[in-house]
Amino acid sequence: MSVTGVTSIAVSSMSGYLTRRFVQSIIVIIGISIVVFVISRLSGDPVNLMVSMDTPEKYRVILRKELGLDKPIPIQYLIFLRGALKGDFGESIRYGEPALRLVLQRLPATLRLLLFTLFWSLIFAIPIGIFSAIKRNSFFDLIGMACTFLGQSIPSFWAGIMLIMIVGVYLRLLPISGYGNGDFAHLVLPAFTLGTLEMASFARITRSSMLDVLNMDYVQTARSKGLSEFVVITKHALRNALIPIVTMLGLHVAYMMGGAVITEQIFAYPGVGWLAVQSIYNRDFPIIQAIVMVVSIGIVVTNFVIDIVYTLIDPRIRYD
Amino acid sequence: MKTRKVRPLGSKGVILVMSFILINLFLAWGTQTADCKTRVVVAQGAEATRLDPDLQRETTTQNVVDHIYDALLAMGPNGKIVPALAESWRYLNDTTLELKLRKGVKFSNGEPFNAEVAKYNLDRVLGKLPGAAPTPLVEPELDWVKEYEIVDDYTIQIISKYPAPLALAYLTQKMMVPFQYTKQDNFASLATKPVGTGPYVLKSWMKGSELVLEARKDCWKGIPKIDEIVFRPIPEDSTRIAELKVGNIDLITNVKPDNLEEVKAIKDVDVRSVSSNRTTHLHINTAIAKMKDIRVRKAINYAVDVESLTKNVLGGNGHRVSVICPKSMVGWDPEEKFYPYDPEMAKKLLAEAGFPDGMDITILTPRGRYVNDVAISEAIAGMLTKVGIRTKVNAVEFGIYIDIIFKAHEKEPELVFISWGNALSNTLYDLIPGVLKGGVFNSYTNEKIDSCIEKASSTVDPKKHVEYLRLALREMWIDPPFVYLYNMRDNYGVNKRLVWEPRSDERIYLFDAYVK
Amino acid sequence: MIEQSNVLRKTRKNKMILFSSMLIMITCICGAFANFLAPFSPYDQDLGNRLQPPLWRDLNNRVHLLGTDHLGRDILSRILYGIRVSLLVGILAVTVSAVFGVILGLISGYYGGVFDDAIMRMTDVLLAIPLLLLAISIIAVFGSSIKILILVIGFTQWMAYARVVRGETLSLREKDFVMSARAVGASNRHIILHYIFPNTLSSIMVLITLNIATVIVLEAGLSFLGMGIQPPEPSLGTMLSESKDYLSRAWWMSTFPGLTIMLIILGINLFGDGLRDVLDPRLENY
């Protein structure tokens, strides 16, 4: 089969696949919004958290009514849905401002942190993983694996606080917390803290899947054909090793979007993760709903992209 | 298997990567513009949420709001009530309060403040403004108000439903908002673009990052000496201390006892401490049968070594309280008595009450909400277990803790960790919900105490008021509805260049402060 | 037959597996026999002697080898008891996720179609729900216990296994040796169990080893909210989160539980890697 032949078959089954995925994505996002809607209302009463303990019940009733929380949950959801379709996710219970706006204000900061972290983690992790696989059981491999092992077993709060103490206070090399005016300096320590686990995961999974692939027949075949080692590794081995790596990428993006929570709190970094935690503790339902909506759209899109990337890496993959 | 050496990256690749790293590092050091304004940076654990004073009651927000707005009266640092937008006041009779308002006060948008505006404010909170949203967070504070009338442009009379000893104190909490500005959009923009009579205005607010206040030139109080106040939310304790160390922050709140040494050791920083109005005690859930017995309640009080708690777990940053009124608050009794630490007595009382083999109970405590809450609860659990009261600790997230408290419980928890701040510096504020029959989460009844509280809450004679409060407290010591613990010292880490003294009511107010 | 004895022989010879098995066994023994090994009770408070450094002797001349914590309790004893809880929660939770996730991943990747869509969309939904919210709601409705803790952790981790295994299955199912097995008439079940699953094992192993670390830290985080492990029960995770406020003042409170966690993770990692090496040759036969 010619290359063009294979590609054209792939493309035609693609469009059916695309529509199917799109429809499913909508269903998923609605499903998420319902699940989160219900779960958050089960998590507690925001009114109890806003009033002082001595406030008589009648005032709490008034507040609940103001916030629309006195209606049965399905009705509350329908009201929410009606607004959501117009882009209105309701007003934050604490801030009194439109919830979606508050979330979108914090989104750029989180995205910057995410991209910065991913970039640096991958730049170090993938080569380390590849070399560890090639030079298995060598000294390099041992050191590399020791570092990744450290990376995954050090809890991020410990790493963060240590970095602040050493780099921020003792050495006074970088700013400690906050956003500053958006400069890279404020991103470095949080990214490093967030990235330790990422780097470890990526390095290990790269190494493992490279090892798998290096033993495969087609790699032996390529070598015996006399191709240079470099070509063997990049053209043949790496492509197939990429699949688990790309999967991890998808999972980590999902994790980081909703949840660089500990890191953001330690560094007082104004991202979506910190807002999410704060809103969950405050039972600020509209913000929770808005964050989950934004994050779930991000996850759905990411996974979709990943599934497409799978087919690019390994054209034999089909989704029938 | 022979493996040939693989050339990594290649020299071109290395140069590319290195230059990328260098460019990043170069961009990393942003430029700082120098400024001759005096700027004070305050770090709190959370950020302010909305700057409409009638729609919130959070300390972190109130600290910002206090600089933008004023009330008719103000609470001085020692709990004494001082004039603010009202120059003077007097009681015409037990239920009629007449206030003379200050002349020439302007809001930051130029609007005047007068009796009309004061009435408008009271109308809003008491739900008398048609079309305006209710203010259920502030309304309960003024539920003693029966009616009010404007006598002249700068005089207003407030008539209360009954003699209300806390009326003046409550009036210090109701901040005045402008008339035209809020009328034109029905209070919609007040939360994000506040306008008040206070010494500062909002300059900029990046949510989650910085809230900047700028000094006003035309405030009735005068021009503050600090040009800009920046509020930064930093939730993590050690990060706040780290920022204090490098000098990025001038004032941090809530320094924990275990971090005091570290903060004291910082070169340019002081620890300033004040005895707070906050008392901590364990609420005894008398809805549970075995807790109703006064001997059991006394036994628990005898079994807890409060001195050890304040000395060891709090590092000396707490003082034992006899009941729930520290020295700084109205109602404190100089003849107070304490339950001595007496485990033998505890065991004896337990046996008398019918529990010779002890009992099993649970302490409910929030996690990380109050200083050392879990640690103190664990310590107390250990002490109680020693006298046979086998105690489990149920440490939950604060929201869950609050929800459990608001529901009546007949099975558990037997003891609840409670820590109450007191914005009014008056013990009556704590007694009514906690002890008086019909209070929010209480099934304890004691007629003597109830009658003392009733009497204290219906007299405006300060001497009688205090007398009744003391009687109530003495009776509470004899028939304890709580396990009495301590009152904390609040510690603030402050840069030495900032001249400022902390307050007992946990509010941060910087108008009188200045930078050396 | 011959393959199996080869595997066993290799296992015995493989140093990594030996070393790591010993490490894991020592840890398990510590946990199992904590009652005998611990010099103090893990619950005994000594408020007058909080935050004492390692090798400190108390008034009765008994030595606290690893120091005391913020309530004066012996850290070594708490670690020994804590190993028990952490291992229990960790192993059970990872088992729940791995079993559930791998099965779903295999089905999803191999059969494709409606199964794939449904399962993958389920992972999408579950990945989007913030764990904190889920945990708080569960505590609010069901209360908390170790069982709930294990189930919650288990159910929030299976997605990784499902996705990774699915990804590999998608690729493997198109490979020649699978095609030829089908041509020969092998049943789907046989193909999945004997051809596809073994080839995903190495990734699963890596995931498990990565996961155990996450699970132990997750356990700390959830216990921090009040789910499952309540004070004064020690677990490595709770000891770590309790130490957060004392990082500079009492380094021993975080370092020793941290080192213990690291040793456990090291043991499991080496074991996983060794296992991988041992299983490797089986792949060459195809």
pLDDT at C276 (0 to 100): 67
> Which among A301, A280, A248, A233 is positioned nearest to A36, based on CA atoms?
A280
A225 vs B302, more confident: B302
Q: Give the ipTM of the model, two decimals please.
A: 0.85
Cβ neighbours of B307 (radius 10 Å): 14
Query: The whole model's pTM is what?
Result: 0.86
Residue A319 has pLDDT above 80, yes or no: no
Of the listed ranges A302-306, B6-10, C148-152, C153-157, the one predicted with least confidence: B6-10
Check CB contact of B4 with chain A, cutoff 8 Å: yes
pLDDT at C13 (0 to 100): 57
B360 vs A229, more confident: B360
DSSP letters of A46-75? HHHHHS-TT--HHHHHHHHHHTTTTS-HHH
Mean pLDDT of C82-99: 90
A181 vs A163, more confident: A163
pLDDT at B240 (0 to 100): 94
Mean pLDDT of B194-214: 95
Indicate the DSSP class of residue C72: S
Q: Are C146 and C89 in contact (CB under 8 A)?
A: yes
Residues of B in contact with A56 (CB under 8 A): 140, 440
- Cα–Cα distance, A139 to C69 (Å, whole number): 39
Of the listed ranges A76-85, B16-25, B77-86, B115-124, the one predicted with least confidence: B16-25
Mean pLDDT of B313-334: 87
Would you call C231 and B238 a contact, using CB atoms and an 8 Å cutoff? no
| Torsion sign across C-alpha atoms B424, B428, B431, B436 | negative
Residue A151 has pLDDT above 50, yes or no: yes
pLDDT at B32 (0 to 100): 46
- Summarised one tens digit per residue, pLDDT across range A58-69 is 898 999 999 999
pLDDT at C142 (0 to 100): 86
Q: Please report which helix (H) or strand (E) contains residue A35, including its range.
A: helix A3-42
DSSP letters of A266-284? HTT--SHHHHHHHHHHHT-
pLDDT at C258 (0 to 100): 87
DSSP letters of C191-244? HIIIIIHHHHHHHHHHHHHHHHHHHHHHHHHHHHHTSS--TT---HHHHHHHGG
pLDDT at B138 (0 to 100): 92
What pLDDT band is residue B157 in, cutting at 50, 70 and 90?
Answer: very high
Would you call C225 and B367 a contact, using CB atoms and an 8 Å cutoff? yes
> Which amino acid is residue A15, in one-letter code?
S
Q: Are A110 and A257 in contact (CB under 8 A)?
A: yes
- Cα–Cα distance, C191 to C14 (Å, whole number): 29
A169 vs B16, more confident: A169
Residue C207 has pLDDT above 90, yes or no: no
Alpha helices, H only, B387-461: 398-406, 428-434, 447-456
Counting one residue from chain A and one from chain B, the pairs whose CB atoms sit within 8 A come to 161
Cβ neighbours of B211 (radius 10 Å): 23
Residue A166 has pLDDT above 80, yes or no: yes
Check CB contact of B375 with chain C, cutoff 8 Å: yes
Share of chain A above pLDDT 70, in %: 91
Residue B276 has pLDDT above 70, yes or no: yes
B41 vs B460, more confident: B41
Residue A265 has pLDDT above 70, yes or no: yes
Mean pLDDT of B312-337: 87
Query: From the list C125, C127, C164, which residue is nearest A31 (CB)?
Result: C125
Query: From the list C127, C203, C240, which residue is nearest A155 (CB)?
Result: C240
Residue A148 has pLDDT above 90, yes or no: no
- Cα–Cα distance, B220 to B84 (Å, whole number): 10
Residue B2 has pLDDT above 60, yes or no: no
Using alpha carbons, list the distances in angstroms from residue A178 to A181, A264, A274, A280.
9, 9, 12, 21
Place of tokens 């620890």: B271
- Cα–Cα distance, A244 to C207 (Å, whole number): 11
- Summarised one tens digit per residue, pLDDT across range C233-266 is 888 888 888 888 888 888 899 899 988 888 887 7
Cβ neighbours of C24 (radius 10 Å): 18
Q: Please report which helix (H) or strand (E) contains residue C264, including its range.
A: helix C251-284
- Summarised one tens digit per residue, pLDDT across range C150-174 is 888 888 889 889 988 998 888 888 8
Place of tokens 């030595």: C63
Share of chain A above pLDDT 90, in %: 25
Share of chain C above pLDDT 70, in %: 88
Would you call C136 and B399 a contact, using CB atoms and an 8 Å cutoff? yes
Cβ neighbours of B208 (radius 10 Å): 24
Residue A12 has pLDDT above 50, yes or no: yes
Would you call A55 and B140 a contact, using CB atoms and an 8 Å cutoff? yes
Residue C224 has pLDDT above 80, yes or no: no
Q: How many Cα atoms within 13 Å fall on the side-chain side of residue C1? A: 0
Would you call B400 and C226 a contact, using CB atoms and an 8 Å cutoff? yes
pLDDT at B362 (0 to 100): 92
pLDDT at C261 (0 to 100): 84
What pLDDT band is residue B396 in, cutting at 50, 70 and 90?
Answer: confident
Interface of A with B in 197-236 (CB under 8 A): 228-230, 233
Would you call C124 and A158 a contact, using CB atoms and an 8 Å cutoff? no
Token representation of residue C100: 């559930």
Residue B441 has pLDDT above 70, yes or no: no
> Which among B5, C10, C210, C206 is positioned nearest to A211, based on CA atoms?
C206
pLDDT at C218 (0 to 100): 80
- Cα–Cα distance, C112 to A290 (Å, whole number): 32
Mean pLDDT of C36-54: 87
Residues of B in contact with C144 (CB under 8 A): 396
Average pLDDT value over all residues in chain B:
88
Which residues touch C226 (CB under 8 Å, ≥6 apart)? B367, B394, B395, B396, B397, B400, C139, C144
What pLDDT band is residue B406 in, cutting at 50, 70 and 90?
Answer: confident
Of the listed ranges A227-236, B139-148, B267-276, C179-188, the one predicted with least confidence: A227-236
Beta bridge partners of B415: B284, B363
Quick one: how far is CA B70 from the chain centroid? 18
Residues of C in contact with B377 (CB under 8 A): 231
pLDDT at C9 (0 to 100): 60
pLDDT at B14 (0 to 100): 61
Of the listed ranges A126-135, B37-46, B223-232, the one predicted with least confidence: A126-135
pLDDT at B210 (0 to 100): 93
pLDDT at B119 (0 to 100): 96
Query: From the list B7, B56, B399, which residue is nearest A44 (CB)?
Result: B399
Q: Which stretches of B36-122 are assigned E, i.e. beta strand?
A: 39-44, 73-75, 81-83, 86-93, 96-101
What pLDDT band is residue B209 in, cutting at 50, 70 and 90?
Answer: very high
Q: Is B82 helix (H, G, I), strand (E, B) or coil?
A: strand
What phi, psi does A177 have (nearest 5°)? -145, 170
Check CB contact of A289 with chain C, cutoff 8 Å: no
- Cα–Cα distance, A180 to A175 (Å, whole number): 8
Counting one residue from chain A and one from chain C, the pairs whose CB atoms sit within 8 A come to 159
Q: Please report which helix (H) or strand (E) contains residue C142, including its range.
A: helix C131-142
- Summarised one tens digit per residue, pLDDT across range C168-202 is 888 888 888 888 888 888 888 888 888 888 888 87
- Summarised one tens digit per residue, pLDDT across range B94-106 is 899 999 999 999 9
Check CB contact of A219 with chain C, cutoff 8 Å: no
Which residues touch B506 (CB under 8 Å, ≥6 apart)? B59, B253, B276, B277, B278, B421, B490
- Cα–Cα distance, C276 to C269 (Å, whole number): 10
Residue A4 has pLDDT above 60, yes or no: no
- Cα–Cα distance, A204 to A212 (Å, whole number): 12
Average pLDDT value over all residues in chain C:
82
What phi, psi does B481 have (nearest 5°)? -85, -5
pLDDT at B33 (0 to 100): 47
pLDDT at C101 (0 to 100): 93
> Checking DSSP bridges between strand B359-366 and strand B389-396, what pairing results, if any?
parallel
Using alpha carbons, list the distances in angstroms from residue A187 to A30, A93, A103, A122, B246.
34, 30, 20, 16, 18
What pLDDT band is residue B85 in, cutting at 50, 70 and 90?
Answer: very high
pLDDT at B5 (0 to 100): 44
Q: Are A90 and A76 in contact (CB under 8 A)?
A: no
Per-residue b/e over A31-67, b at no fewer than 16 CB within 10 Å?
bbbbbbbebbbebbbbbbbbbebbbeeebbebbbebb
